[in-house]
Amino acid sequence: MCGIAGAAGKNPEASIQMMLEVIKHRGPDGMGMFSLGEVTLGNVLLKITGDKSQPIHNKGALTYNGEIYNFRDIARKRDLRTDSDSEVLFGMIESNGVEAALGELDGDYSFAFASDGTIQLARDPAGVKPLYYGKSEELFAFASEKKALSAIGITEISSLRPGHMLTYCDGRLIEKKVTGFVRGERITDENLASDALFNAIEQAVKKRIYSPCAIAFSGGLDSSLIAALCPEAELYSVGMAGSHDIIQTKKAAVLLGMENKLHLQELTVDDVVTALPDVIRAIESTEPQKVSIAMPLFFASKNAHNDGLRVMLSGQGADELFAGYKRYESLVPDELENALLCDLDNIAKNNLERDDAASMANSVELRVPYLDREVVELALRIAPELKIKNGIRKHILRLAASRLLPEELALKEKKAAQYSSGIYSAIEKLARKNGFNGEHVASKYLEWIK
């Protein structure tokens, strides 16, 4: 996991140096730059898989952020001896090109490959790893965070869409979709769907386990299933004193027999006040809902980092795949299926970019098992009637989870994260305490904080 940046045009080295300074929290273990003519790539390194410094270069150059979970299988097929997924990716691209390489990858990634004055950017199908780009009169540039591009004067910034590749050459940009999720034959049998889903999630968690490993733990269905599948992990939970999350995580940890693994931080109002500027800067938003969702993850990843952990698993994606939100309840099956597809298409913009920024502000890599390719493609096959049944949201996921979870956890109703932690309410109270009244007090207050 890293932070990446690159530029083509006038004096790109100076721009890269500035951008890497802005995102150095993403990679405290090293910083590298490499230039090919008018193109310069840069990288700040957080060592997770392998020990290969970046950018990697030969005829071309690669700067890469993410994890490729099948890189060892690919290396064996290509007779490569390496413990570095970035080195495997570089070899694949040099041999067959970017687009061909993308077809073989199982992972979460964003990267840039430069060769002969051309830069090619790519992002994983779900959009787990962010990548932004923009142009000025003198420069084309990209980076893992928008603030890096803002630092060099680029004001019109775009996010590379999940599953897309962007090619920059001679001042022109060409973007096309190159990877995505396949929708196979519909599954309507409840037992078949439940068995397949449990096995897929189990494998997805197994791929992403790292030692030592943390879990962003709310005590709900999604994070409890991950915890049950990864009992060696440490559980990190954050909420206002007396909030739903504080009560529920304590209860869930006991039910899982993992109370000795629980790291629980009960926030005070002073904690929220102190953290607000850092959270706003990390996620680059003053939207109250985004800030209140990001803050628990910001604190959880900070606590994990202070304990020496670099990888954290999250339950992100389960609601969009298995109909976890209350707004889905009133939809008929066809409407539900379309709503879920729409939310999956937008999950990167709505959730993943925020979560990545909140955790990487503390140099912690966030991994999301529910957005594993096999889990997603299986979810797309499962009939919507199995996702909400008898008014119960996430029915099929609950059925799969009941293999491991106590009934109380498997049937636990979801409460929106911004409210369950008590942070949204705390922000509103702070707004009024500081003289903000009327509508949208939280928004006005956060803009003032910014």
Catalytic residues: 2
Residue 220: which H helix or E strand, with range?
A: none
**In 3D, which of 284, 213, 276 has the Cα closest to residue 445?**
276
C-alpha to C-alpha distance for 179 and 124, rounded to whole angstroms: 8
Residue with tokens 């928008």: 146
Instruction: Cite the DSSP H helix spans in 307-440.
Output: 318-322, 333-345, 347, 353-360, 373-381, 395-401, 407-410, 417-420, 423-433
Using CB atoms within 10 Å of the CB of residue 415, give its burial: 0 to 12 exposed, 13 to 18 middle, 19+ buried.
Answer: middle
Q: With b meaning 16 or more CB within 10 Å and e meaning fewer, what string describes 172-182?
A: eeeeeebbebe
C-alpha to C-alpha distance for 195 and 193, rounded to whole angstroms: 6
Is there a contact between 158 and 133 (Cβ–Cβ < 8 Å)? yes
Task: Return the SS3 of 301.
Answer: helix
**In 3D, which of 427, 418, 416, 419 has the Cα closest to residue 269?**
427
**β-pairing verdict for 107-115 and 2-9:** unpaired
C-alpha to C-alpha distance for 195 and 358, rounded to whole angstroms: 34
Task: Return the SS3 of 366.
Answer: strand
Residue 174: which H helix or E strand, with range?
A: strand 172-177
- The tokens of 426 are what? 């705390």
**In 3D, which of 268, 234, 269, 245 has the Cα closest to residue 419?**
245
Is there a contact between 315 and 370 (Cβ–Cβ < 8 Å)? yes
Instruction: Cite the DSSP H helix spans in 164-232.
Output: 190-208, 221-229
Residue with tokens 């949204």: 424
C-alpha to C-alpha distance for 178 and 109, rounded to whole angstroms: 14
Using CB atoms within 10 Å of the CB of residue 58, give its burial: 0 to 12 exposed, 13 to 18 middle, 19+ buried.
Answer: exposed
222-to-48, 95, 285 alpha-carbon distances in Å: 25, 40, 26
If one counts every other C-beta atom within 10 angstroms of the C-beta of residue 209, the result is 16
- The tokens of 355 are what? 């979560």
